A and B are shown apart, each in its own frame.
Chain A
């Protein structure tokens, strides 16, 4: 028997309409329809009047005469979608976007790190609201199918993460039409056999269902009723690196000032990595010099790390090798990125430090400090804990190397 999975389905509510309401305060709280000829999206206010996506414009107008119709702004939706995806990817090791406004997240095993599916769901909703300004609904369950159903049940702007014992009762109580993939035609065919809820499907054996609905259809209905769905969450494009950078005003900056930035960057990058349950082996330092040309230096470690102290030590060593250059030409920006990522929840074979970087007596518990700091930040927000050297330093820090990989916890 394999251990149960934890899957979240995250879906932006009335996505296009929500973006319009966000960007034009005059639309907030009012029925909004995106798209003229055919309704591409309707705000919840318009939906209350019966307007649905895919509906003809004329019919929508009859249902909701005071709706405000706006043309779609695709670039705004794409940008919002990308920002939301960055939030997802910082929160879960495996994210599979299924459309512009929804994604599955596999958060299996993260509860061991103190992050339950419902806690992650809450954080996602909060972060998307705060960072992107959009309402998000999240459903959580042990299968993709049930997570999606739960998400739908929690809408709008809701969260429903099912506990293992609640899954089957919840599922069985759903009308068959709530199951993804069961459309109006199937609903009608089921109704002909007196089947209206998922519990009605579960009342019949697989053989009977196959006899009524054919091999494929019958087996699928049986699987639905018993929540049998092993479809994995697969991210086509996995995040390849975690990075952050800090711009520094035109110098001159002493090495202590640069080092203070490195400390903060190492903390921030590794905190995001730990949040996402990832660790990496390649540490890259990027420095923009006084004349705005940039240099990068990288080192690959034998073992993956998500530890602040390790990343910092490597970053310092890389910069130390360029000390003369940095002093001569000045520094206007420093950045740290960690790549060659692996999941951090797999057991890790430790190795003897044969290259002499660490003597036996100095092997410390590398996670103790980091996880304690993480716990405080989670509870009280990212401003509540600051390392000594960072007190009083300006916060002009941004993400690097890929702005589209910006995490939710910057600044």
Chain B
């Protein structure tokens, strides 16, 4: 195998691939990126057995062949490549690949190619085309609410449902829940529903702008879902089970509904959060016409800031994880946020004041009073 390519292209792709390649698995080959050079062109592949990514690489194939190289190391080499072009050549005798970039020469031992599993091929037929921009914008609204750890795999997923002209995504880590319904410009031909790991959704968020693709194709199989974005194919095993029945958890009525300036509240929350360290709660104390946001961290200090709000009724204070509240406010698209609350131990809801099909439900932290 011998190929020539632009360092910049290779670098961009390797950044995506090295997020998928995993050094934590028993099979060391999976920490590598597979480079397949054929008469049709060059494809780069990485997988951790759950998620797979295939990317077309622009370049010239001088001699076809397939090798697996350590993804992380190749990324670092490419990042520091002194020239604009990179050449990779397999040296069969030495069982290594010579990487030449400008005046720099590296010899990288290859990983065992036969241990690299085949990745699913896009079947083409069963796919549903969705506007890439709408898909990514919807993802951005919900994905941060997915659980960061895998203890309950379904909570580390985004529920993606597309039917007719509505694309719905939901994510919850049980402490907050985001739902976004996007109305598409034209109805879909076909429908699908899938629990997609949040990291796959985040990868799509990066791939779409990088590829410049206008639409993406979603093909849901029995155990797999395949996303085709331009020349990239991202595949994921589906997570078993049914996404939690979340609809009944969203209260229909609240005792308090306040319209507050989004930017003002965001800034106050952001400032006061500086003193809510070590998992300390942010306290939102409502009284007639006023909201006082405060925080304190033992052995560090306290902060408080008041802002006028149209609150009426019996005063109360509710606690929130500052990060969860900030995430919610950051996803509100509008000058005003509709803050809906009932009591210090009931979920609160953040919404836009106009109907954008978005809601952010957030569970409080029970404070000591």
Contact = CB atoms under 8 A, between A and B. Distances in A.
Contacts of B155: 354
A359 interface: yes
A351 B363 contact: yes
Contact of A347 (B245, B248, B366): B366
A356 interface: yes
Interface in A331-346: 345
A352 B363 CA distance: 7
B367 interface: yes
Given A354-B244, A359-B248, A349 B368 contact: no
A354 B251 contact: no
B347 A352 contact: yes
A231 interface: no
5 contacts: A109-B368, A349-B175, A350-B345, A350-B366, A354-B246
B343 interface: yes
B143 interface: no
Interface stretch (A206-214, A237-245, A360-368): A360-368
B172 A352 contact: yes
Contacts of A2: 298-299
A350 B361 CA distance: 12
B365 A350 contact: yes
Contacts of B367: 347
B249 A359 contact: yes
A353 interface: yes
Contacts of A354: 155, 172, 174, 244, 246, 249
A387 interface: no
Interface residues of A, number: 22
Sorting the interface of chain B by its residue count into under 10, 10 to 19, 20 to 34 or 35 or more gives 20 to 34
Interface string B335-364: 000000001011100000000000001011
A-B interface, 10 closest residue pairs, ranked by CB to CB distance from nearest: A354-B244, A351-B174, A348-B366, A350-B363, A347-B281, A360-B251, A360-B249, A347-B365, A2-B299, A349-B365
Given A2-B298, A2-B299, A361-B251, A352 B365 contact: no
Contacts of B321: 349
A399 B298 CA distance: 37
A318 B311 CA distance: 44
Interface of B: 155, 172, 174-175, 177, 244-246, 248-251, 280-281, 298-299, 319, 321, 343, 345-347, 361, 363-369
Query: Is the contact region of chain A dominated by helix, strand, or loop, or is it mixed?
Result: loop
Most B-side CB within 10 Å, residue of A3, A112, A345, A361:
A361
B27 to A, nearest CB: 34
A360 B175 contact: no
A277 to B, nearest CB: 10
The winner among A302, A349, A355 for most chain B CB atoms within 10 A is A349
A3 B246 CA distance: 41
Contact of B280 (A302, A345, A347, A350): A347
A351 B298 contact: no
B249 A345 contact: no
Interface string A1-23: 01100000000000000000000
A283 B367 CA distance: 24
B248 to A, nearest CB: 5
A215 to B, nearest CB: 27
A365 B345 contact: yes
A363 B319 contact: no
Contacts of B298: 2-3
B252 to A, nearest CB: 8
A360 B251 CA distance: 6
A3 B366 CA distance: 20
Contact of A349 (B177, B250, B343, B363): B363
A349 to B, nearest CB: 5
Contacts of B244: 354-356
Nearest to A348: B366
Nearest to A302: B174
Nearest to B302: A1
Contacts of A109: 368
A347 B280 CA distance: 8
B174 A352 contact: yes
A108 B367 CA distance: 16
Given A2-B299, A354-B174, 18 more contacts: A302-B174, A347-B281, A347-B367, A349-B365, A349-B366, A350-B363, A350-B366, A351-B174, A352-B172, A352-B174, A352-B246, A352-B249, A352-B361, A356-B244, A359-B249, A360-B250, A360-B347, A365-B345
